Amino acid sequence: MNPTLNYLFSRRSIRVYRSEHVGENLVHDLLEAAMAAPSAAAKDPWEFVVLRNRNTLAKIAQGLPNGKMLVDASVGIVVCGDLHRAHDGQLSYLLQDCSAAIENLLLAAGMLGLGACWLGVHPREERVMHIRSLLNIPDTVIPVATIAIGWPNESQEPRTRYRENAVHHETW
């Protein structure tokens, strides 16, 4: 692993959090970083629902099989995309744009000393409907993922997942 890229290799999913508050300024910083992501034709279709209410976080966790850490997270952020604002109204562009925003948010969380975990929602229809109904999300807005955020109470070693057999030069 190239040590210059160590921060990227250190970004890991954190699922155990301390019970300390994450301030509004940090949440703003995370959202600002997310919205700095590239977007097809600069359409920026993303929307974010910031959750702090313990009951709401617990209800969302009930509909995400791997989302139990939301119960202890200080903040949950549901990343959504507005299909009307996606480039050419295309779902694929919406998903790419929201994924870039999510990765920026995850990297920013680590840089700020926070832990975060990406929980997929789309394309699982039962998860989409669960989140949509709990948060009153309009039909043209698609919940793509939920991010659990908090002060980490675990650490994981940096790692690479590089596989030489996944690299093709000039042709397959």
**Would you say 122 and 128 are in contact if contact means Cβ atoms under 8 Å apart?**
yes
Domains of the chain: 13-154 (3.40.109.10)
For 11: left if phi > 0, alpha if psi spans -120 to 50, otherwise beta; the answer is beta
Q: Can you tell me which residue has the tokens 């929201």?
A: 98
pTM: 0.96
Query: What is the mean predicted confidence (pLDDT) over 35-60?
Result: 98
Rounded-to-integer distance, Cα 121 and Cα 91, Å = 14
1 pLDDT above the threshold of 90 = no
User: Locate tokens 């949950």: which residue?
Assistant: 76
Query: Which tokens in the block code for residue 122?
Result: 């789309």
- pLDDT tens per residue across span 89-143: 999 999 999 999 999 999 999 999 999 999 999 999 999 999 999 999 999 999 9
3-state secondary structure 61-112: HHCCCCCHHHHCCCEEEEEEEECCCCHHHCHHHHHHHHHHHHHHHHHHHHHC
Measured CA to CA, the distance from residue 122 to residue 99 in angstroms comes to 11
Sign of CA dihedral 113, 20, 26, 81: positive
Burial profile 46-76: b = 16 or more Cβ within 10 angstroms, e = fewer: bbbbebeeeeebebbbebbeebebbbbbbbb
pLDDT, tens digit, for every residue of 145-154?
999 999 999 9
Q: What percent of the chain has pLDDT over 90?
A: 98
Q: Report the pLDDT averaged over residues 27-34.
A: 98
